[in-house]
Amino acid sequence: MPDRIDSLLGFAAKARKLAVGTNTCIFRMQKREIALLLLASDLAEGTVKKMTSAAQKAGVPCRTYGTIEKLSHVTGNPGAGVFGVTDRGFAESILKETDKETPAESSEREVFGCR
């Protein structure tokens, strides 16, 4: 399952359907251009709070997946840990895959309203 998510993120990056970084994602969420917000599991607590708050205000689903290192490698964006998926098709596919996890795994990852 993680390989499928990695592939989808790689395809989204190649198709230029990802917004990268906190400020870019916040700006594009306000413009209603982001369908899914992905956060790395090892982001700073303040960043997670800031991004989940912005996602909740904009009504954008938020998920935690992978680490900064892994997401940077998969998407080709060094040091990035905040990604906004702008394509609804990619977003739905990634949501479907991330939500397939068992309830125990999901509850471990839930942080500040971001699963």
Helices in the chain by DSSP H: which ranges?
A: 2-14, 22-30, 45-58, 68-75, 88-98, 103-109
Q: What is the DSSP letter of 82?
A: E
Q: How confident is the model at residue 115 (pLDDT cuts 50, 70, 90)?
A: low
Using CA atoms, how far apart are residues 63 and 99, in angstroms rounded to an integer?
9
- Give domain status of residue 12, yes or no: yes
pLDDT on residue 113: 59
pLDDT reported for residue 101: 66
**Confidence class of residue 3 from pLDDT cuts 50, 70 and 90?**
confident
User: How many domains does the chain divide into?
Assistant: 1
Residue 22 predicted with pLDDT over 90: yes
Domain extent, residue 54, equals 2-109
pLDDT value at residue 108: 41
Q: In this structure, is residue 115 part of a structural domain?
A: no
Output the pLDDT for position 43.
94
* pTM of this structure: 0.85
Phi, psi at residue 67, to the nearest 5°? -110, 170
Query: In this predicted model, what pLDDT tens digit does every residue of 35-92 receive, in sequence order?
Result: 999 999 999 999 999 999 999 999 999 999 989 999 999 999 998 999 999 999 999 9
Structure tokens at 37: 């917000």
Q: Are 19 and 84 in contact (CB under 8 A)?
A: yes
61: domain CATH number? 3.30.1330.30
In a domain, 54, yes or no: yes
Distance CA 87, CA 13 (A): 11
